[in-house]
Amino acid sequence: MYEIRPEQPEDAPLVEALYDRVFGPGRERKVSYRYREGIPPVRELCAVSVVEGTPVAAVRFWPVRLDGIPALLLGPLAVEPELQGRGIGRMLVADRLVHARALGFRLVFLVGDPAYYARFGFRPVPEGIVMPGEDPKRLQWRILRPGPLPRHGEILRADGTSILPAPAPRAAGRTADAAAP
């Protein structure tokens, strides 16, 4: 049997090692990591599944925004390879979505395989909603609470910034005259 409990600071090395094993080195080059740099996760929702005291699965959530609405980015989600396919991932995600709703969140995004996440009610986002650089077919959302929602826009970091590099500032005072030799 296993239990689900909040991730504690001392779990972090085990959780990071699990993510490295499951996703491989280079995982932090994924677009979704640009939403996590310098922004703390939503600690109330980050959780591990524990067997005999050892975390064997983990999921984390980061805050993001869509058109001013606070939302969540689910991931990474990973289950220890030799324990996959036993319902551990399903229980962990289902449990966390209940908590996310109870915390008042309306929307959860993720980038993943639609064939897996459809069982939790995730659906492809409307065409106009974008995560720059990400495969639109893998970008999904789960609506936790009814109400009007935007049908287009870029998913932004929690601090309101885009993950796209800011445009280079135009050189001050650079007019045709100033530029002339």
Ligand X SMILES: CC(C)(COP(=O)(O)OP(=O)(O)OC[C@H]1O[C@@H](n2cnc3c(N)ncnc32)[C@H](O)[C@@H]1OP(=O)(O)O)[C@@H](O)C(=O)NCCC(=O)NCCS
Residues that bind ligand X (CB under 6 A): 22, 77-79, 84-90, 112-113, 115-116
- Please give the residue whose beta carbon sits closest to ligand X in the complex: 89
Closest to ligand X by CB, 51 vs 69, is 51
Least Cβ distance, residue 78 to ligand X (angstroms): 4
Closest to ligand X by CB, 63 vs 75, is 75
Closest to ligand X by CB, 85 vs 128, is 85
- Which value, to the nearest 10 degrees, does the dihedral of the CA atoms of residues 54, 3, 85, 18 take? -30
Q: Which residues, listed in sequence order, are joined to residue 62 by a DSSP beta bridge?
A: 73
> How many whole angstroms separate alpha carbon 89 and alpha carbon 24?
19
Closest among 136, 140, 133, 142 to 35, alpha carbons compared: 133
Tell the burial category of 51 from Cβ atoms under 10 Å away from its Cβ (0-12, 13-18, 19+).
Answer: middle
Closest to ligand X by CB, 71 vs 77, is 77
Least Cβ distance, residue 26 to ligand X (angstroms): 14
Least Cβ distance, residue 177 to ligand X (angstroms): 55
